[in-house]
Amino acid sequence: MKVGFDCQIFTLQAYGGISRYYASLAEQLKSMGHSPRIFAPFHCNEYLSTVSPPTVDGKRVASKSSKLMRLTLPVNQILSNSRMKSWAPDVAHETYFSMFKPSRRSYPTILTVYDMVHEKFPEEFSRWGNISVRKRSAVERADHVICISESTRNDLIQAFGVDESKVSVVYLGFDTFADVSIKTDSPEISRRPYLLFVGNRTGYKNFHGFLRAFALSPALKADFDIACFGGGAFTVAEKELIHSLGLSEDHVRHHGGSDKVLGDLYSQAAAFVYPSMYEGFGLPPLEAMAKGCPVIVSHSSSMPEVVGDAGCYFDPHSIEEMSAAMEKVVFSPSLRQSMVSAGYNRLQKFSWASCAEKTMDVYTQVVR
């Protein structure tokens, strides 16, 4: 089957879970004997450099996402649609929620909805771009919609009134990341044991709650540091909060870099803490499990569905409960070991190969 992916997410992300999803999906489809093609004329995405030719139609013109890259979206969309139409796929898969309505197509269109965070936390997002409006429009024009968890599927049906028969659930896979020595990339983080936080730290991600929960425990403050990966450097407000909680820059450190660095951060962390109020799926807990890292996670949205019995849960609205969960895990070697074993068992439920197989089932259903 010929499957065409448009340019959108590869123009918007240099790194990120969504673009990694499509790059992994395309590679798996190709290994299954199908013909995927990513039409990204001008992109900034790192993952496409790892995709085997001729799967990618386009070239990388920047090393990071930027406003300038976003300005190329209209031209990219026109070129992407034109090249895809000439290629004549059996099915098209839109990689995000386009502000430009595609021209009339002779082949069916699939859309993946990753979460409903813009609908659940509208106050945390700029009205510029109208993501929710664009998402609804993309859902309405798609022939079928894939959601990455039952939680997201239920949220989508409830928020947009979508016919249940139009929406399928396909779980994501996960990446193990190649090992890289922390000693050469970030020697300072290995001084003391640390708790790891990954990704954006704004609003519903509950980073402020995590800091307060950590600072609430004298034992955690005495024996552990916090390592944060991604999400950009700490803001002035975050630095002020860190200092107000009696923590220093030695206690709470920010790290950037490649997925290889992230993989090593997971493997050396005492535990990974995921305090988010809401996630459509949540790849980081699986990534942590794959590196033998215990997962301490909020009991909300899709998290129990993904993490299952491999995590230690807490109410994300309770600072006390989060603090107690962290103490419970990091000060019990036997519990940590049992959680690591449970994590490895849980991972058997998720793989990019399984994701590709179930996605192909959706494609086949829609084409028929």
Give the number of other Cβ atoms within 10 Å of residue 110's Cβ: 20
The rounded distance, in Å, linking the Cα atoms of 260 and 180 is 6
The rounded distance, in Å, linking the Cα atoms of 130 and 258 is 30
Tokens 């496409």 found at: 48
- Listing from the earlier edge strand, what are the strands of the sheet with 295-298? 252-255, 225-229, 194-198, 271-274, 295-298, 311-314
The rounded distance, in Å, linking the Cα atoms of 297 and 52 is 35
Which residues lie below 8 Å from residue 58, measured CB to CB, with a gap of 6+? 7, 10, 38, 39, 40, 41, 42, 43, 48
Correct CATH for 182-349 of 3.40.50.880, 3.40.50.620, 1.10.3720.10, 3.40.50.2000 = 3.40.50.2000
The tens digit of pLDDT for each residue in 299-311 reads 999 999 999 999 9
Which residues lie below 8 Å from residue 227, measured CB to CB, with a gap of 6+? 189, 194, 195, 196, 197, 253, 255, 265, 269
Q: What are the φ/ψ torsions at residue 189 (nearest 5 degrees)?
A: -75, -10
What string of pLDDT tens digits covers the 368 residues of the chain? 999 999 999 999 998 889 999 999 999 999 999 999 999 999 999 999 989 999 999 999 998 888 889 899 999 999 999 999 999 999 999 999 988 777 778 899 999 999 999 999 998 887 776 899 999 999 999 999 999 999 999 999 999 999 999 999 999 999 877 654 444 444 455 579 999 999 999 999 999 999 999 999 999 999 999 999 999 999 999 999 999 999 988 899 999 988 889 999 999 999 999 999 999 999 999 999 999 999 999 999 999 999 999 999 999 999 999 999 999 999 999 999 999 999 999 999 999 999 999 999 999 999 99
pLDDT value of position 190: 53
Residue extents of the structural domains in the chain? 2-173+351-367, 182-349
Distance of alpha carbon 214 from its chain centroid, rounded? Answer: 24
Class of domain 2-173+351-367: alpha beta
Could you give the dihedral angle defined by the CA atoms of residues 270, 331, 317 and 292, in that order, rounded to the nearest 10 degrees? 30
Indicate the pTM of the whole model: 0.91
pLDDT value of position 181: 44
Q: Do 34 and 353 contact (CB within 8 A), yes or no?
A: no
In CATH terms, are 2-173+351-367 and 182-349 the same topology? Answer: yes
The tens digit of pLDDT for each residue in 13-42 reads 998 889 999 999 999 999 999 999 999 999
Distance of alpha carbon 8 from its chain centroid, rounded? Answer: 16
Q: Is the peptide bond before 102 cis (omega within 30 degrees of 0)?
A: no
Q: Which amino acid is at 312?
A: C
pLDDT value of position 178: 60
